[in-house]
A and B are shown apart, each in its own frame.
Chain A
Amino acid sequence: MTEPLSRDDVAHVAKLARLRLTEDELIRYTEQLGKILVHAQDLSSLDLHGVAPTAHPFGLINVVRSDEVRASLDPAPVLAQAPDVEDGRFAVPRIVGEAP
């Protein structure tokens, strides 16, 4: 199995997960996550050749309801809990930059 992760790996993963880490946190998480991943290497002690993966205990199948119009949540109380709202919609800061 692969070697436990590096400091750069942790920085990359934090970026993917939309988290900012301080220098201290980077060092601490690299050590802690490394320890957990070393423990996880015991998984390779079992011969798993040809074993099918299980992502769900009962093997999920699609469950569909009948195609009928039903009431859904009233938008007002939902929007009332949002951090920022404009014209009945969720408002967020700028997503796309100015044209050059």
Chain B
Amino acid sequence: MKSALEIAAAVRSGQSALVAVEESLTAIRARNEELNVFLYVDEDGARAAAARVDEQVRRGEDPGLLAGVPIALKDNLCTTGIPTTCSSKILEGWQPPYNATVVDRLVAQGAISMGKTNLDEFAMGSSTENSAFGPTRNPLDPSRVPGGSSGGSAAAVASNMTPISLGSDTGGSIRQPAALCGLVGVKPTYGLVSRYGLIAFASSLDQIGPFANSVTDAALLLEAIAGHDPLDSTSLPEPTPSLLAHVNDGVAGKRIGLVRELVDGADEDVVRAVNKAVATLKDAGAIIVELSMPELHLGLSAYYLIAPAEASSNLARFDGVRFGNRVDGEDVTAMMEATRTAGFGAEVKRRIMLGTYALSAGYFDAYYGQALKVRTRMIEAFAAAYQQVDMIIGATTPSVAFAFGSKTNDPMAMYLNDVFTIPTNLAGEAAISVPFGTGEANLPVGVQLLGPGRSEARLFAAARVLEIADGRA
């Protein structure tokens, strides 16, 4: 499949948008049953949207940055007219009465939504094994997980069903599946992309971001969806940054911190890839500075108190009253208990209970309160690091894609997958995972580049240096 940039250019110069849409539908038909990528394929909607883009081109109007580009949407993004489930039985069959802002922006830029992709229920997980509608398989090795929680959106791009897709990243849910599927994945600065219409998991951490085969396509997609939105009060009141124009800026003279805590504990093949990436960036003119940030080790514990605490509050709205499914009961409390007990899966219940406990009287100070202080220290540690360096490099994940079932019985083992990605979410900053080399079983390894808030252009430029050195572009 062509890149998003190539498709948009072809459509703008007169090629029918249906060409790429039909190619996408063919790819979906070929492997969706095997991989369980899409929960809903919007065949009619995609064709109708393609016809509208063609009509715009015929009238001489500019259909936008993503003219005729097929895109897959994680099924926690609200879309009118088609279902949004969060991969939960509690929302099965629900059709949102409004679009997420990112969905409206994609339409305004000419993109064609092909449908909704599988995720860990309510975005809680690192393998897509927590979906109520079955796991998604890794297109590169179907015996392994694609990562999560945005596993469906990653698999859509990795299996060439769409050139780009959207996920959401609360603790690594874009970067980790990007690493496991050999893609570029971006967790933008908190507030850069509107969260309006993203079904909330942990509101102070959630951020929507792109998956793509290349740095250029990821920059293009982020540029198309970024920018202030009055419907999200946490949206940064700033104009859309220029990203695509800077992907070839390189790293000459840039100071890059190699942080020990973002590599320690990773498998040997992952460490090797990070070291090679460091050498590549140095050859390209970057100055490498070795750093230690001991606070990062505490990110995992802080995250697994803060995120469940926010989730326990956010998911209180699923009570069988205004939307979603209901299981009847003799009074309203019995109805709510029956609805939530039948509607939520095991991991969602686990996190709701963990969060409720961390916030409950007598334990608040010991757990949630303590975690918020660690968050302060983490932000200070990053701020101190960025006095010395322009960006930080480390691993995205401790290992390459792992086998199904290998971590499902031990929540803590699963949570450890997020150890390198969580700190960025706690600090509200930006990070990107870029594939660099291969590890065990010839599977891709992701290298992570982290920067302060609003440093996306710089991160894309460094990721592009690695992508070129890796022979991927």
Contact = CB atoms under 8 A, between A and B. Distances in A.
A32 B337 contact: no
Contact of B340 (A18, A60, A81, A93): A18
B462 interface: no
A9 B379 CA distance: 33
Contact of A36 (B94, B304, B324, B336): B304
B191 interface: yes
Given A33-B354, A46-B295, A57 B366 contact: no
Nearest to B333: A18
A42 B376 contact: no
Interface in B229-256: 230, 233-234
Contacts of B312: 17
Contacts of B329: 93
Nearest to B94: A81
Contacts of A93: 328-332, 334-335
A5 interface: yes
Contacts of A94: 330-332
Contacts of A43: 298, 301-302, 370-371, 374
Interface stretch (B3-11, B151-159, B277-285, B356-364): B356-364
Interface in B317-373: 319-326, 328-338, 340-341, 344, 349-350, 352-354, 356-357, 360, 363, 366-367, 369-373
Contacts of B344: 19
A61 to B, nearest CB: 9
B373 A95 contact: no
B221 to A, nearest CB: 23
Contacts of A74: 97
A52 B332 contact: no
B57 interface: no
23 contacts: A2-B363, A13-B353, A13-B357, A16-B360, A18-B319, A25-B349, A35-B412, A36-B304, A37-B354, A41-B301, A48-B370, A48-B374, A54-B375, A54-B376, A54-B379, A57-B190, A57-B453, A60-B233, A82-B321, A83-B320, A83-B325, A92-B321, A94-B332
Given A18-B333, A19-B344, A93-B329, 19 more contacts: A16-B356, A19-B349, A25-B349, A37-B354, A37-B357, A39-B300, A43-B298, A43-B370, A51-B373, A52-B376, A54-B375, A55-B204, A58-B428, A60-B233, A62-B233, A73-B98, A81-B94, A83-B324, A93-B330
Interface of B: 94-98, 190-191, 204, 230, 233-234, 295, 297-298, 300-302, 304-305, 312, 319-326, 328-338, 340-341, 344, 349-350, 352-354, 356-357, 360, 363, 366-367, 369-377, 379, 411-412, 415, 426-429, 453
Interface of A: 1-2, 5, 9-10, 13-14, 16-21, 25, 29, 32-33, 35-37, 39-46, 48, 51-58, 60, 62-63, 65, 73-74, 77-78, 81-84, 90, 92-95, 97
